[in-house]
Structure 1
Amino acid sequence: MEYKEITIYDIANKIGVSPTTVSRALNNHPAVNEKTKSKILQVAEKLGYRSNFFASNLRSKKTQNVGVIVPRLNSSFQSSVIAGMEKIANETGYNLIISQSLESIEKEKTNARTMFNSRVDGLLVSLSNDTANIHHFLPFKEKGIPVIFYDRTPEEGPFSSVVIDNTQATYNSTKHLIQQGCQQIIHVLGKLDINIYANRLKGYKYALMDHDIPFSLDKVLQSDLNENSGEELAQKILQMKPFPDGILVSNDICAASCLQTLKSQGIKIPEDIAIVGFNNDMVSRMVEPKLSTTHYPGYEMGEVAMKNLISQLEAPSKTIQKTQQTVTLRSHLIIRASSLRKGK
């Protein structure tokens, strides 16, 4: 049986009033007396009337929807960011439409096109692994729809972004390992095409340079940075000569997996190898020894990105959209037992 959508005309016929009166009552217009308004609302509820928000939004040219494109949803960091966005969205009357690129630029392009066609008011984006350019976001700019990038951001382009200082964060982690007596430090990161990893490599190099330790490309390992790659990383490290005494990994999942695998092979942490992760995910506090890591303020990043987007959406004549700005949030090193050697 086909379902018939109830309209204001059905309600008007049922009660014996004009469709205009029904429309005004449903929108709480003061021209309709309370008795009539109450009767219309009761009949509307009984008939199962649903307000046509889409048509209303077309008239107002706003949907109250904000699009979010993330690389992957099964990420502790991204979940934290989205929670921060959701908090601000709820407080300001906006809804989030969330999609994932699955680390594919083609999927990212499809998501962007869907968001554009869905008439989102604004867009928040963390780029995929293989995004080489951001041409697919330019239609938003041309239509005056604000786009803000966070975490993985483009190097250039007419858009605002929210980031941390990845170079300084990794410098601090590398310096800490050196202060613990480490000289053979392995740095594990993702694709260097992604600016956060390129910037972290800079921080690693600068710390070595400042402490007169020669840089070797053999000590830089690229990884998918997941649990399985952590196990594979440990097996590679066990075969290395000279044997590393420090490992700096660009996320906690991979670092924790590597730590556990090395321990299972009789390697003492941190006595034989000191390990530092990145992100301050829950897993960093669940392994033994607990993992040193960089606190990446994901929740705050989500809040700030959403606040900045809303400020652009609600600015008079959208004047803020003409200004490109980068907000850099603070991160800090959390030192735990995985890297803290006695007497150091």
Structure 2
Amino acid sequence: MINKINKPTIHDIARALKIDSSTVSRALNNSPKVKEDTKKIILAKAEELGYQRNLLASNLRKNITNTIGVVVPRISRHFFSSAIQGIEETAYQAGYNVIICQSLDQLDRERKIVDGLVSNRVDGLLISISMETIDYNHLEVLKRSGVPLVFFDRHCQIPGYSSVIIDDFKGGFDATEHLILKGCKNIVHFSGPLEVEIYKKRFEGYQAALSKYGISFNSEYILSSRLMEKDGYECIEKLLEKGLEIDGLFSSNDLAAIGAMKYLKEQDIKTPEDVAIVGFSNEPVSRVIEPSITTIDQSGFEMGKLAIDLLLEHITNKSIPKKGQTIILESKLIERDSSKRK
């Protein structure tokens, strides 16, 4: 009798049909060593008994799990949720499950997440690094483990790993040039940590635009933070308390731009008449806030799809390339009311 409490096994099927369990196993794995008529009988009995294959055990024997790990700073950010949508859609079609984790922009948390995903034998990893990630040892370990890795959005310059990124330099340049063409000359820049490549590139784009139009660079106009809404509020407050003259703001994300705009409203400083603002990332809230925020779009969904395609290619090839591939997406400035000066 089959134990009603436990799930039926190949041995239960073998006993019911009075054949070897090895024959049942081969049939369930579609082995050519088993005749088609025998396969049909075994599959019919397996269905009758409610047998379900242990895919996890089977895959582990083959050293695969059909699972991909995805690490992002914050799932709540529209850009990352859009990227995850693109990743999941493509992964599902390819027969992979996705484990999504968030570092909350903390290096220690990121390290533990990566260690956990590798321990659970994910077939590959997609990661957008935290703001604190300037030590890459926990990612270098993946090479020794043979786990393919692809960066998206925030990336590291580690030889052999591929990246899918936006043209952050061009995004920073276009945002700053847009403000200059609107008549701004004293342009503040809110940056994330400049050790992180994307913020470094956006800052360099800002500098290049100032240089092109003969505007002197002023280091007092550069403030680095974690780019939360409260950071934008506090940063613009500090600048104005210093008595600095400001007529433009380029923020490396929309949230900090919104924080700055809230403080300006409280001080009865008008946007864009007094201070024109450009954000980055095209968060949904940037369309509905008053005034709506001019921003740089990052194409999250497309970036996610390209990143997972690249990772699946590495997984299929079963190798980590000596020289990684970098895909750079075009940035796009979306003009809204926060920079429409007369």
TM-score (norm 2): 0.90
> Judging changes above 3 Å, is the alpha-carbon distance between structure 1 residues 122 and 305 closer, same or farther for their aligned structure 2 residues?
same
Identity of aligned residues (%): 41
Amino acid corresponding to residue 324 of structure 1 in structure 2: G
State the alpha-carbon separation in 1 of the partners of residues 39 and 103 from structure 2. 51
State the alpha-carbon separation in 2 of the partners of residues 301 and 203 from structure 1. 21
1:207 to 197, 206, 209: 209
The residue aligned with 1:184 is 186
2:147 to 139, 145, 148: 145
RMSD over aligned CA atoms reads: 2.1
State the alpha-carbon separation in 2 of the partners of residues 137 and 322 from structure 1. 15
The residue aligned with 1:331 is 331
Superposed, 1:184-333 pairs within 5 Å as 184-315=186-317, 318=319, 321-333=321-333
Cα drift, residue 14 of structure 1: 4.9
State the alpha-carbon separation in 2 of the partners of residues 12 and 187 from structure 1. 71
The residue aligned with 2:135 is 133
Q: Across the two proteins, how many residue pairs are aligned to each other?
A: 334
Spell out, residue by residue over 1:96-127, the C-alpha distance to the aligned partner (whole angstroms, 9 max, x if none): 12222222222222222212221111111111
State the alpha-carbon separation in 1 of the partners of residues 154 and 300 from structure 2. 12
Amino acid corresponding to residue 257 of structure 1 in structure 2: G
State the alpha-carbon separation in 2 of the partners of residues 36 and 94 from structure 1. 28
Cα drift, residue 75 of structure 1: 1.8
1:32 aligns with 2:53: no
Q: Contact 1:279 / 1:296 at 8 angstroms: preserved in 2?
A: yes
Amino acid corresponding to residue 292 of structure 1 in structure 2: T
Q: Contact 1:279 / 1:293 at 8 angstroms: preserved in 2?
A: yes
The residue aligned with 1:57 is 59
SS in 1 for 2:321: helix
Cα drift, residue 31 of structure 1: 4.9
Cα drift, residue 278 of structure 1: 0.2
Q: Contact 1:245 / 1:272 at 8 angstroms: preserved in 2?
A: yes
Amino acid corresponding to residue 81 of structure 1 in structure 2: A
Amino acid corresponding to residue 259 of structure 2 in structure 1: S
Cα drift, residue 329 of structure 1: 0.8
SS in 2 for 1:161: strand
Cα drift, residue 142 of structure 1: 2.7
State the alpha-carbon separation in 1 of the partners of residues 150 and 165 from structure 2. 11
Structure 2 unaligned residues grouped into runs of 5+ = none
The residue aligned with 2:83 is 81
Structure 1 unaligned residues grouped into runs of 5+ = none
Spell out, residue by residue over 1:286-323, the C-alpha distance to the aligned partner (whole angstroms, 9 max, x if none): 111111000111111111110011111223x64x7233
Q: Contact 1:25 / 1:40 at 8 angstroms: preserved in 2?
A: no
Cα drift, residue 134 of structure 1: 1.6
Cα drift, residue 207 of structure 1: 0.9
SS in 2 for 1:67: strand
Amino acid corresponding to residue 209 of structure 2 in structure 1: A
Spell out, residue by residue over 1:229-275, the C-alpha distance to the aligned partner (whole angstroms, 9 max, x if none): 23323433442423311111111122123223322332221111101
State the alpha-carbon separation in 1 of the partners of residues 249 and 238 from structure 2. 12
